[in-house]
Amino acid sequence: MTCPTSPTWTLHNGDALAVLPTLPDASVDCVITDPPYNSGGTATSQRVNQTARGKYVGSNVKHTLADFAGENRDQRSFGYWMTLVLSECLRVSRPGASALVFSDFRQLPAVSDALQAAGWTWRGVIPWFKPNTRPQRDGFRRSCEYVLWGSHGPLARHPDPVYLPGLLQGSQPSGKKRQHITQKPVAVMQELVKVCPPDGTVLDPFAGAGSTGVAALAEGRGFVGVEVTPHYAQVARERLADASTEAGA
């Protein structure tokens, strides 16, 4: 189902690999996405046999946010699947576009391989520092997740040059602002969408609660999102509609 409710954003409720092939070639200017990490635990069995809630919501956490799909691939199928999705994203993006893909430490090598196998030019990794992570007894805090950066060939030049940070910082939203288990902070996403040209369109094939799109609209960019879990597609639509109104679109 497609819901084009304003000229500046569209949210498709469907599977990324079913929806992306319906999008035209070279129709977006940037891909920014936070896929299901298919991570957690220390063994493949722990990754494939648990729900997203089971993996990413601590037993001490009170919220009852809905589960989401796509968290049960084993290591090799995750890498292959990410390659398929990122290949379609390359086709849909204009030459010179950037791709920014979130990952945690476990899946960073697999996502890096998938990005390059899909045809993106490997550009770097931007750590996202989260100040409020748990201490690890006798070890190090896992204070960072990572944004992997690739480009569709040589980078497009912005009419007015931008110089973006090499390190991002921000905590996950809490309280009523938290609407998705693995929600990203809009302020962090606003830094990322600046890699998209000012009049361009951002694509997120794993939109979740729509944080990438909310940031894109706040920064004056258009947005195309895909989300498979119906509950989160609806949450994303509501947040995008509000953001669109706030941006005066």
Distances (CA, A) of 63 to 50, 67, 180, 234: 18, 12, 10, 19
Q: For ligand SAM, which is the closer residue by CB, 39 or 151?
A: 39
Nearer to ligand SAM, 156 or 206 (CB): 206
List residues near ligand SAM by CB under 6 A. 15-16, 34-36, 68-70, 180, 182-184, 205-206, 208-209, 211, 226-229, 232
Q: How far is the CB of 138 from ligand SAM (least distance, A)?
A: 29
Measured from the CB atom, is 229 or 244 closer to ligand SAM? 229
CB closer to ligand SAM out of 22 and 95: 22
- Integer Cα distance of 100 and 117 in angstroms: 15
Our CB check for ligand SAM shows the closer of 11 and 156 to be: 11
Q: How far is the CB of 209 from ligand SAM (least distance, A)?
A: 3
Nearest to 191 by CA among 110, 240, 235, 129: 129
At CA 225, angle to CA 159 and CA 99, rounded to 5?
50
Show the 3-state SS of 78-102.
HHHHHHHHHHHHHHHEEEEEEEEEE
Full DSSP string of 116-178: HHTTPEEEEEEEEE-TTPPP-TTS----EEEEEEEESSSPPPPSS-----S-EE-PPP-GGG-
Contact 143, 136 (CB under 8 A): no
Min dist. Cβ of residue 31 to ligand SAM (A): 13
Residue type, 39: S
CB of 45: closest distance to ligand SAM in angstroms?
Answer: 20
Residue whose CB is nearest to ligand SAM in the complex, by number = 208
Q: Compute the least distance from the CB of residue 70 to ligand SAM, in Å.
A: 3
